[in-house]
Structure 1
Amino acid sequence: MFQRRRSAVALRHVAFEDLGLLAPIMEREGWNVSFCEAPVDDLGHSSIRDADLLIVLGGPIGVYETDSYPFLIREIDLLERRLAQGLPTLGICLGAQLMAKALGARVYAGGVKEIGWGSVALPDAGRASSLMPLGAGSPVLHWHGDTFDLPDHAVRLASNGNYENQAFAFGNNALALQFHLEADPRQLEEWYVGHAVELASARISVRELRAKTAEVSKIVARQADRIFTSWLSQLDTAISTTAQAR
Structure 2
Amino acid sequence: MKTALALRHLHFEDLGTLEPLLQERGYQVRYVDASTDDLSRLDANGSDLLIVLGGPIGAFDEELYPFLADELRLIERRLASGRPLLGICLGAQLIARQLGAAVSPMGFKEIGFAPLTLTDQGRDSVLGPLAQVPVLHWHGDQFETPPGGHLLAGTEACPRQAYAVGEAVLGLQFHLEADAGRIEHWLVGHCCELGQAGLDPRTVREDARRHGPSLARAARQVIGAWLDRQQNTETGPQ
Q: CA deviation at 1:47?
A: 4.7
Question: Which letter does structure 1 place at the counterpart of 2:112?
Answer: G
Structure 1 residue 84 displacement after superposition: 2.5
Select the residue among 112, 116, 122 that pairs with 1:120: 116
Contact 1:157 1:167 in 2 (8 A): yes
Q: Which blocks of at least 5 consecutive residues in structure 2 are unaligned?
A: none
Q: By how many angstroms is 1:49 displaced?
A: 3.4
What TM-score comes out, normalization by structure 2 length? 0.95
Letter in 2 for 1:55: I
Deviation sequence 1:180-204 (CA, Å, 0-9, x none): 0000001110011100100011110
TM-score (norm 1): 0.92
Distance 2:30 2:18 in 1: 13
- Asked if 1:17 is matched to 2:13, the reply is yes
CA RMSD after TM alignment:
1.3
Conservation of the 8 A alpha-carbon contact between 1:16 and 1:190: yes
Please name the residue that 2:54 is paired with.
Answer: 58
Q: Cα distance, 1:64 vs. partner?
A: 1.2
What is the CA-CA distance between 1:239 and the residue it aligns to?
A: 4.6
2:51–2:85 CA contact under 8 A, matched in 1: yes
Equivalent position SS for 2:117:
coil
Counterpart contact for 1:49–1:78, Cα < 8 Å = no
| 1:144-186 CA distance string (max 9 Å, x none) | 0000111110110101111121000011111000000000001
Q: Following the alignment from structure 1 to structure 2, what is the Cα–Cα distance between the partners of residues 20 and 13?
A: 14
Question: 2:182 is matched by which residue type in structure 1?
Answer: Q
Q: Which structure 1 residue ranges, 4+ long, deviate > 6 Å from structure 2?
A: none
Could you tell me which residue of structure 2 aligns to residue 143 of structure 1? 138
Deviations 1:2-42 (A, max 9, x none): xxx21110000010000000000001111111000001112
Q: For 2:21 and 2:80, locate their aligned partners in 1 and report how far apart those are by CA, in whole Å.
A: 27
Partner SS state of residue 163, structure 2: strand
- The equivalent residue for 1:109 is 105
2:86 maps to 1:90: yes
